[in-house]
């Protein structure tokens, strides 16, 4: 499995991030612990993906109101989709992105190596990234909640697959961007220390007879 959800997350982090649809989003975040089961036990090449999840059973002409039953089934999410491994992966990557955002900004501020404008730029980049993550979570909630969208099972799976790819790209970006920002701060700090050391050595030489 791509990622595992860290157990050290603080609830206030998500309360600050998920400002809209607060109750529902907090509930979903609380399910991360349960989703760890899916992350741990789901396997690549999952049976659901192979089967396609596009067969709605129980429809034989004359037994049901075919149209009405079909529309109703489109609004009801197959439980197997909620257990689809990529649902857990998407949430896990979002968690990691938030963690990286918090860690990076905290380290940059403590380093005191970047200018105010540079810190603001880093904050804006992460801010846009988190906004995109929030939209992804909104769509994931819709895809996995009964009564939200009229879609076939395979259509829901395809949308979740797309969300997974989008989130993977964001996760890769935030890892690289955060590392670059921290490396820049470390380089600046080293330059500052080198300059300070050089000045101290010069002062010592001046004091020598």
* 200 exposure class (CB count in 10 Å sphere: 0-12, 13-18, 19+): exposed
- Averaged pLDDT for residues 143-164: 89
* 23 exposure class (CB count in 10 Å sphere: 0-12, 13-18, 19+): exposed
What pLDDT was estimated at residue 79?
83
Q: Is the pLDDT of residue 96 over 80?
A: yes
Encode pLDDT of 105-149 as tens digits. Answer: 999 998 888 888 989 999 999 999 989 988 998 898 888 888 878
Reduced to 3 states (helix: H, G, I; strand: E, B; else coil), residue 191 is: helix
How sure is the predictor about 177, in pLDDT bands with cuts at 50, 70 and 90? very high
Residue with tokens 């998407």: 90
pLDDT, the chain, mean: 70
Encode pLDDT of 34-81 as tens digits. Answer: 454 444 444 333 343 334 333 333 333 343 344 444 445 556 778 888
How sure is the predictor about 209, in pLDDT bands with cuts at 50, 70 and 90? low
Q: Global pTM?
A: 0.60
What pLDDT was estimated at residue 31?
53
* 141 exposure class (CB count in 10 Å sphere: 0-12, 13-18, 19+): middle
- Averaged pLDDT for residues 11-32: 50
């Amino acid at each position: 499995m791509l990622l595992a959800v860290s157990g050290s997350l603080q609830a206030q982090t998500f309360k600050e991030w998920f400002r809209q649809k607060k109750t529902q989003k907090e509930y979903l975040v609380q399910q991360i612990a349960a989703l760890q089961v899916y992350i741990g036990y789901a396997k690549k090449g999952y049976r659901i993906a192979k089967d396609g999840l596009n067969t709605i059973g129980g429809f034989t002409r004359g037994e049901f109101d075919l149209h009405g039953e079909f529309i109703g089934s489109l609004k009801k999410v197959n439980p197997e989709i909620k257990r689809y491994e990529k649902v857990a992966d998407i949430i896990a990557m979002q968690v990691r992105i938030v963690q990286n955002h918090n860690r990076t900004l905290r380290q940059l501020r403590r380093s005191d190596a970047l200018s105010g404008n540079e810190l603001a730029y880093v904050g804006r980049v992460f801010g846009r990234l988190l906004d995109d993550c929030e939209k992804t979570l909104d769509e994931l909630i819709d895809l996995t909640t009964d009564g939200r969208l009229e879609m076939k099972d395979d259509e829901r799976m395809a949308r979740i697959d797309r969300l997974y790819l989008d989130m993977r790209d964001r996760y890769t970006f935030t890892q690289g961007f955060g590392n670059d920002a921290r490396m820049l701060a470390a380089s600046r700090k080293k330059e500052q220390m080198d300059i300070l050391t050089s000045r101290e050595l010069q002062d010592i030489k001046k004091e020598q007879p």
